[in-house]
Amino acid sequence: AQSVTQLGSHVSVSEGALVLLRCNYSSSVPPYLFWYVQYPNQGLQLLLKYTSAATLVKGINDFEAEFKKSETSFHLTKPSAHMSDAAEYFCAVSDFQGAQKLVFGQGTRLTINP
């Protein structure tokens, strides 16, 4: 069964600093991986996804993630944090059981300090 582990339930960075959110996956098949963001009191929005094309994936709002098979990782980065990036971030792996089944990590809350 597929699973995802997000290291660090809470990450705090200063405005302008590098953002690094960690995600490791376990999958018995080549994985499809997603990063979603949830702003306070809102639904989830896709940031980016890896579907076996380029290993470096660029998403919205200058976020990117790199798929590393040898490390079973799909960490999310952004070079310079903005206050508006404060949110909950979820990594997910996609399974298929007649329909797509997203298995989410525990989430990482990102706080931006002024």
Interface residues toward other proteins, by CB under 8 A: 32, 34, 36, 38, 41-46, 49, 51, 88, 90, 94-104, 106-107, 109
Q: How far apart are CA 62 and CA 7, in angstroms?
A: 21
Least Cβ distance, residue 21 to other proteins (angstroms): 14
Are 103 and 4 a contacting pair, CB within 8 Å?
A: yes
Nearest to other proteins of 73, 94 (CB atom): 94
Least Cβ distance, residue 101 to other proteins (angstroms): 6
Q: Which stretches within the chain are classed as H helix? A: none
Nearest to other proteins of 17, 103 (CB atom): 103
Alpha carbon 107 to its chain centroid, in Å, reads: 9
Least Cβ distance, residue 97 to other proteins (angstroms): 6
Q: How far apart are CA 67 and CA 12, in angstroms?
A: 23
